[in-house]
Chain A
Amino acid sequence: MAIQTLDRPKSRTSTSQEIRQPRKKMTAGKIAAVVVAALIAVLWLVPFAWATATAFKTETDAAAPKISWVPPSGFTPEAFVKVFQDGNIPLWTWNSLYTSAAITAITLVISTLVAYALSRIDFKGKKVLMTVIIASIIVPPPVLIIPLFYQMLALHMIDTSWAIILPQVIHPAMVFVLKKFFDQIPRELEEAAVMDGASRMRIFTQIILPLSRPILAAVAIFVFIGAWNNFLWPFIATNDGSLLTLPVGLQTIKSAYGIQYAQNMASALLAALPLILVFLFFQRQIIKGVATTGLAGT
């Protein structure tokens, strides 16, 4: 859809481009680009807008056969109130928050340590280790669900938060990203510390890590968003209603609320809100983070 609407205005500006007046052409082209970009942006915002409009309707208005953006009986926060009274969304949000935070924290600790070893320490078997870690990037998580479930059953971890957290802390691609970053830190910075007899751990925590803040933030963002939105594994690992994460919990409301469209949309919006808010505040870091970690493989 979007592509078709794009073609016309753009090609028109290109033909109007002349050689002698770079300034003027730029503005004409820019105006056309703004128009097209705005059209796409509107299309991209419609699902949010329609969900919001629905969520603030009464259930009767939401299910009315005549579709309207502004409902006959006016907007009401009724659906949000009901969803909050049910208490599921706050619980699921909390579950998502602490599991994602734990996943991110553990991932950062274990990945930076191994990445440091791969970048700076000469040890026997390092090449093999590096090869195995890189090779493991290609293992798709869906391949592991059957044996992992069986393993979790044997470890008596099914229906605990550990079942959600532990299998999600291995990010070989992020180890690789971190190692590449550490490689670029000049070794001279560590030499003085080595002369002073500082231990590896001290060099790692007091020289390497402080210099690595941008990449640590990027990796943290990447891992956190992935964990927050992960569906398949938490869906398999938990049946206990009190442990559900947001994405998994939301899947259950379709059957619970059935055709209560306003409450469905209110729940979906409440689930979307935390990450959207975080994005509004940390836009620059998140965009940079995605750009640096993204190509490393997902």
Chain B
Amino acid sequence: MSSSLAARRKPGSLTRSNRSGWGFAAPFLVFFLVFLVWPLLYGLYMSLTGKSLTGANDSLIGFANYAEALADAGMWRSLGNTLYFTVISTVPLVLVALVMAALLNVGLPAQWLWRLSYFAPYLLASTVVSLFFTWMYNPQLGLINDALSKIGIPKVAWLNDPNVAMWAIVIATLWWTVGFNFLLYLAAMQNIPHQHYEAASLDGAGAWRQFFSITLPQLTPTTVMIVLLQILASLKIFDQVYQMTAGGPGGSTRPVVQYIFETGFTGYRLGYSAAISYIFFGLIVLVSVMQFAITRRRSA
């Protein structure tokens, strides 16, 4: 296709294309270099220094920050919290989204109404979600404990009980973001060709059977993508925890991003904080590489 264009090129037009190519790319590149590449590299440099917000010790100290981080129980605990949240949040965030999409895909009337109610929370800022749920989780005045007491379940100290707090965060997160996965599933379901279902119903397969033998297998690539994207999103958890429990009670919900934030901005230790950022980055790269490998194999 492009050969017809290329054939008409005058000599020297590659230099002209070089110029216009980089010209079109330039505005993006400037922002990209200044606000992504540079901080990424500078962060790496910072992680090798004792830099602090108070200005002390700018000198290179090698891998001392990394050595300290690897021996830091607080870092490991926050990393553990992040992983724990990722595991227990990903499952419901994918399953509930699938159920929601499957229900709508039956061909319910008033599609917009269901979409609106399932997806609307996704449009909220984290702080709005946190205000809503902190209020509903209130041990004495909260709606949830009130409802539980009506069916004879004793009061739960949702955000103040170290054994429950993370689950409380998961429930709020599920409510908040499941609508996004739901939309991805719904779009994928609507792309499954009708002929598959027609053939199946001629063979006498019921709706339930069709779901398991047609819909679900056809959705496998989507499911893989949603699970991986959800894992990457869950690993970055910070907002709702910081706002609802501030990492407590007793550090039982503090995620690694909050640990980075606190070491840097409360503890003023920018260099150390940058080192923990890079350990976290390593984890994200690991998951991303796995994602890449899996999707590559699928498409190959």
Whether B36 pairs with A136 at a CB distance below 8 angstroms is yes
CB atoms of B17 and A122 under 8 A apart: yes
Contact status B103-A36, CB under 8 Å: yes
Closest A-B pairs by Cβ, 3 of them: A123-B21, A14-B208, A17-B206
- Smallest CB–CB gap between A238 and chain B, Å? 13
Task: Kindly name the residue among B37, B39, B143, B239 whose own CB sees the greatest number of chain A CB atoms within 10 A.
Answer: B39
In the complex, the answer to whether B143 meets A251 with C-beta atoms within 8 Å is no
List residues of chain B with CB within 8 A of the CB of A232.
Answer: 238-239, 257, 261
> Given A65-B140, A146-B46, does the pair A231, B207 have CB atoms closer than 8 Å?
no
Interface residues of A in 129-150 (CB under 8 A from B): 129, 133, 136, 138-150
Of the stretches A74-82, A209-217, A287-295, the one at the interface is A287-295
Write 14 A-B pairs (CB below 8 A) sorted by A numbering: A3-B95, A3-B99, A15-B208, A122-B6, A122-B21, A129-B25, A140-B235, A146-B46, A146-B273, A232-B239, A236-B265, A250-B125, A272-B128, A290-B184
Complex interface: chain A residues within 8 A of B222 (CB): 295
Asked if A33 meets B108 with Cβ closer than 8 Å, knowing A50-B136, A146-B46, A251-B243, the reply is yes
Q: Which residue of A lies closest to B132 (CB)?
A: A47
Please determine whether A147 and B42 come into contact, CB atoms closer than 8 angstroms.
yes
B100 proximity list for chain A (CB < 8 A): 37, 40
How far apart sit A169 and B183, CA to CA, in the bound complex (Å)?
A: 25
Select which of A15, A22, A44 is within 8 A of B118 by beta carbon.
Answer: A44
**Cβ–Cβ < 8 Å partners of B135 in chain A:** 50-51, 54, 261, 264-265
A166, CB-defined interface residue at 8 Å = yes
B294 in contact (CB, < 8 A): no
B257 to A: closest C-beta gap in Å = 4
Name the prevailing secondary structure of the B interface residues.
helix
Chain A: minimal CB distance from B250 (Å): 20
The count of residues in chain A whose C-beta lies closer than 8 Å to any C-beta of chain B is 111
Within the complex, what minimum Cβ distance (angstroms) separates A56 from chain B? 14
Question: Is A99 positioned at the interface, with any CB of B under 8 Å from its CB?
Answer: no
**B219 adjacent to chain A (CB < 8 Å):** no
How far does the Cβ of B16 sit from chain A's closest Cβ, in whole Å?
9
The contact size tier of chain B is 35 or more
- How far, in whole Å, are A133 and B6 apart by their CA atoms in the complex? 26
Q: List residues of chain B with CB within 8 A of the CB of A143.
A: 40, 43, 277-278, 280-281, 284
List chain B residues, Cβ under 8 A from A247.
125-128
Nearest-Cβ distance from residue B164 to partner chain A, whole angstroms: 14
Q: A44-B118, A191-B5 are in contact. List 13 more A-B contacts (CB 8 A).
A: A1-B171, A13-B207, A26-B207, A64-B141, A117-B24, A121-B21, A122-B17, A140-B280, A142-B238, A187-B5, A190-B5, A194-B5, A283-B115
Interface status of A6 (Cβ within 8 A of chain B): yes
With A146-B274, A166-B31, A191-B5 as contacts: A65 and B141 at CB distance below 8 Å: yes
- Segment 25-60 of B: residues with Cβ below 8 Å from A: 25, 27-29, 31-32, 34-40, 42-43, 46, 51
Known A-B contacts A116-B24, A229-B124; A144 and B39 likewise in contact (beta carbons under 8 Å): yes
- Chain B residues engaging chain A, CB cutoff 8 angstroms: 1-2, 4-6, 8, 14, 17-25, 27-29, 31-32, 34-40, 42-43, 46, 51, 92, 95-96, 99-100, 103-104, 106-109, 112-121, 123-128, 131-136, 140-141, 143, 146, 171, 175, 180, 183-184, 186-187, 201, 204, 206-209, 222, 225, 229, 232-233, 235-236, 238-239, 243, 257, 260-261, 264-265, 270, 273-274, 277-278, 280-281, 284-285, 288
The answer for the CA separation of A10 and B284 in the assembled complex, in Å, is 38
Minimum CB distance partner of B279 in chain A: A143
Q: A48-B120, A50-B136, A110-B28 are in contact. Are A2 and B42 (CB under 8 A)?
A: no
Q: Is A267 an interface residue (CB 8 A)?
A: yes
**A97 contact set on B, CB distance < 8 A:** none
**Bound: A147/B40 CA distance, A:** 7
Partner of A187, one of B1, B22, B92, B232: B1
**A151 contacts the other chain (Cβ, under 8 Å)?**
yes
A41 interface hit (Cβ, 8 Å): yes
Q: Does B281 lie within 8 Å of A294, measured CB to CB?
A: no
